[in-house]
């Protein structure tokens, strides 16, 4: 049963400065949501969802981004209860719940009886950061992907997504939104790859950027070429570019059971600072 609690409310652009103050208090954990707010503001039409707030105007304490993902921000037990109640009343519209593990676990405990079983639950996803160029040699062949290379990169992106998430991004809308996002990251210079004779050897994207931090996502090495050092050298190159071009902190999160990836990131210079959890539908 849902607990009675103070209500949340839908925020708008008049709340922007207060929202950014909360987000900037933890720039690593909040990089995804902060990047969205800085880019488009809080109007639901531009945001692609709603931003819920907990606490009175002028004294907000917690947030929850409710779009394609449901993402609690700085949410203690009372705030999680309020956000969960709003999400329950609204019905599931998201493809995942993701964020700090304690808040997501509490939220899912309250929503699962109403939303039903998840397709997958990733209980522990270490959040990792680096602030320094790697001591490993960077792969000099890793570079920004050019717009005309979209047809070459897209199959690698689809393979990565399917391997990581467990379903193809072509599910539902035939992959239109996913293709648009891949193309957009290429267009704005945040897609990196090593492409040898038309084959994507390594790829990664910088999916979210704020003045304080940027987040690497979509790291992938061609299955036939794994175990040859491409991941470490490629990540060293992307980190170098990210620090030079985007933000002073580079972050990512990874599944706790993915020991090879965690070892690569540690080798490159990343350290674990937090734990996320994801519930996938």
**CATH topology classification for 130-274:** Aminopeptidase (3.40.630)
Give the tens place of pLDDT for each residue, 179-217: 999 999 999 999 999 999 999 999 999 999 999 999 999
pLDDT value at 4 more than 80: no
User: CATH number of the domain at 9-117, please?
Assistant: 3.40.630
Pairing of strands 191-196, 250-253: unpaired
Q: What is the CA radius of gyration of the chain?
A: 19
- Measured from the Cβ of residue 27, the count of other Cβ atoms closer than 10 Å reads 19
Span(s) in the chain for CATH 3.40.630.30: 130-274
pTM comes to: 0.93
d(CA 190, CA 207): 7
Average pLDDT of the chain is: 95
d(CA 45, CA 4): 30
Strands in 120-130's sheet, in edge-to-edge order, are 9-10, 50-54, 62-66, 69-73, 96-100, 271-280, 120-130, 250-253, 214-221, 199-209, 191-196, 143-144
């Amino acid at each position: 049963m849902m607990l009675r609690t103070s209500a949340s409310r839908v925020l708008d652009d008049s709340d922007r400065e207060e929202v950014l103050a909360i987000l900037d208090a933890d720039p690593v954990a909040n990089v995804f949501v902060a990047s969205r707010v800085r880019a488009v503001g809080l109007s639901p039409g531009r945001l692609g969802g709603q931003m819920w707030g907990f606490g009175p105007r002028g004294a907000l304490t917690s947030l929850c981004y409710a779009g394609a993902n449901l993402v609690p921000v700085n949410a203690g037990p009372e705030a999680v209860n309020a956000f969960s109640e709003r999400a329950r009343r609204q019905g599931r519209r998201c493809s995942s719940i993701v964020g700090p593990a304690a808040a997501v676990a509490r939220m899912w405990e309250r929503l699962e009886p109403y939303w039903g079983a998840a397709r997958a639950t990733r209980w522990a996803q270490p959040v990792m950061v680096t602030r320094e160029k790697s001591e490993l040699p960077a792969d000099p062949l890793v570079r920004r992907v050019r717009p005309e290379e979209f047809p070459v990169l897209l199959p690698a992106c689809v393979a990565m997504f399917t391997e990581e998430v467990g379903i193809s991004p072509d599910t539902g809308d035939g992959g239109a939104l996913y293709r648009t996002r891949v193309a957009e990251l290429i267009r704005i210079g945040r897609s990196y790859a090593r492409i040898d004779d038309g084959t994507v050897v390594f790829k990664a994207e910088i999916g979210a950027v704020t003045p304080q931090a940027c987040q690497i996502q979509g790291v992938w090495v061609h299955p036939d070429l794994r175990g040859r050092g491409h991941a470490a050298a490629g990540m060293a190159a992307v980190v170098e570019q990210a620090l030079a071009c985007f933000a002073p902190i580079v972050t990512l999160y990874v599944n706790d059971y993915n020991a090879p990836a965690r070892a690569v990131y540690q080798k490159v210079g990343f350290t674990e600072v937090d734990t996320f959890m994801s519930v996938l539908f």
